[in-house]
Amino acid sequence: MSKAGAKMRVMKKIVDKVKHGNLIRTNIPAGMAVAGPPLGPMLGQRGLNIAAFCKDFNAQTAHYIEGVPLPCRITVKSDRSYELVIHNPPTTYFLKQAAGIQRGAMSPGKEVTGKLTRKHVYEIAKIKQQDPPMQLTPLKEICELVIGTAHSCGIEIMDEIDPQEYGEFLGQRMLVVEEQLKELKEKREAKLLRK
């Protein structure tokens, strides 16, 4: 046991510590990076120049519609420089935009919030395949992930959609969403009255 312990001490001295980059994962709206919270304090804690980062980010995301949420991976290096990787918008953003809805299901599996065709799923998967973590993933697997996300949002995947029927569906869905929002507001007010 003592020989093994001595060997371990020698090994610890030989092997240098690996210095990993300080990784920040956050969603930043396109073209709207500002020095205020929550981004400013996050970057300030790591000693980055916040104004330079915001200017760089806004310049890189100028081709996006302003306000689109973009997942970002910021690797902070030891010399206080950074490496910024900007991914495409989240799958849920694309699904909601394609389905023409504002919010997903409050109880997934029990309610349908929108409908999409398989072609929509394929196009979203092609866009998501450009993200660095998905570049080596086969398109079929990405399509399955998109379908899973759609089901968790309450979006139904179909072969074809009739535009008139879907327009009527969205009109009825708006009434349901208004009722759900009223219920949530009443619950919040009831909680406030209890306190």
Parse the chain into domains and list their residue ranges. Answer: 19-86, 93-189
Cβ partners under 8 Å of residue 94, min gap 6 = 124, 127, 128
Q: How many CB atoms lie within 10 A of CB 87?
A: 16
- The matching CATH number, chosen from 3.40.50.150, 3.30.200.20, 3.30.1550.10, 3.40.50.300, for 19-86 is 3.30.1550.10
Domains 19-86 and 93-189 share a fold: no
Q: How much is the pLDDT for 59?
A: 95
- Read off the pLDDT band of 174 (50, 70, 90): very high
Residues contacting 95, CB < 8 A, separation 6+ = 114, 116, 124, 146, 149, 150, 153, 155
Q: Select the more confidently predicted residue: 90 or 1.
A: 90
pLDDT of res. 4? 64
| Threshold 0.85, pTM exceeds | no
Whole-number percent of the chain with pLDDT over 70: 89
15-72 pLDDT, tens per residue?
555 444 588 999 999 999 998 888 988 888 888 899 999 999 999 999 999 999 999 9
Per the prediction, the chain carries an average pLDDT of 89
> Per the CATH hierarchy, to which homologous superfamily does domain 93-189 belong?
Ribosomal protein L11/L12, C-terminal domain (1.10.10.250)
Residue 8: which pLDDT band, with cuts at 50, 70 and 90? low
User: Is residue 96's pLDDT more than 90?
Assistant: yes
**Mean pLDDT of all residues in 171-194:** 91
Of the ranges 9-13, 20-24, 176-180, which is most confident? 176-180
